[in-house]
Amino acid sequence: MNPKPNPKNEKWVLFGAELRKYRKKAKMTQDDLAEVTQFSRSLLSFTERGERNPSHNLARRCDEALGANGELLQCWTHITHAASPRWFRDWLEVEPAAHTLHTWQPLVVPGLLQTEEYARAVLRGKPGVTDDELEKLVAARMERQAIFARPAPPMLRVVLDEGVLRRPIGGKEVMRAQIERLLISFASPKIVIQVLPLVLGVTTGVLGGFVIAQIQGSADIVYLESALNGQVTNKSEDVEAIQATYDTIRAEAHSQHVSIDVIREAAKTWI
């Protein structure tokens, strides 16, 4: 089935123009590029015309096929990051470079595991967000999940507060699909999910979620969530404090084996 074109977006048009420029520079037709990248000619055509939101995978494979030396990927990064708040853009440079991501989430499912509808319900809570801004934010969040489609995806270790499974974000249908997404994630050897039981009454980490990124040849980097703006830091004292908090929370959490049963039980809430 051929993909349906969407209304043009100025950022998509920018990427499409760059893709067309490098394709012509490489003296390749759209059919040639389709054969090399294994994307359909119609998808490439829509992308060049600015009628499709280019995925990270498409940008990467076209960049390699056309010998663009990272320029197409840089363009993709620009148009993707433009939809995100300025304070979050530093993290968007860190996240794809990490070989391991550790996260604690006391309130919501982490963005890398959110369904589109759950993400939309979460992001709709941003004061003053317009429908257009909302859709751009949702698209940017979904694009972040493309890191799991890479040949060598990062390891993602998640600790969720059990309350996340019970909080009715978006309603029953949205929650049911989100819980199913979590259960499917257990099949990946690159994703570990543990649940912190409510009955323990643990207070460590209740003031906010965070992510610890481990990057080859670099010091760990932390992203701290807050009600206003997030913070990205690699200060050793901050990273050590967050690592200690994470270790404490994880030590109290269920094992992955038990966590699967907890999530399955929570799924019954949303039937």
Architecture of domain 10-81 in this structure: Orthogonal Bundle (1.10)
Q: Could you tell me if 129 and 187 are in contact, meaning their C-beta atoms sit under 8 angstroms apart?
A: no
Residue 3 pLDDT > 50, yes or no? no
Containing 11, the helix (H) or strand (E) segment is helix 10-25
Give this prediction's pTM: 0.73
Residue 169 pLDDT > 90, yes or no? yes
pLDDT tens column, 53-106: 787 778 889 999 999 998 898 888 777 666 666 667 778 778 888 999 999 999
Q: Where are the domains of the chain?
A: 10-81, 86-270
CA gap 137, 139 in Å, rounded: 5
Architecture of domain 86-270 in this structure: 2-Layer Sandwich (3.30)
The helix/strand/coil state of 81 is: helix
The two tokens of residue 247 are: 């270790």
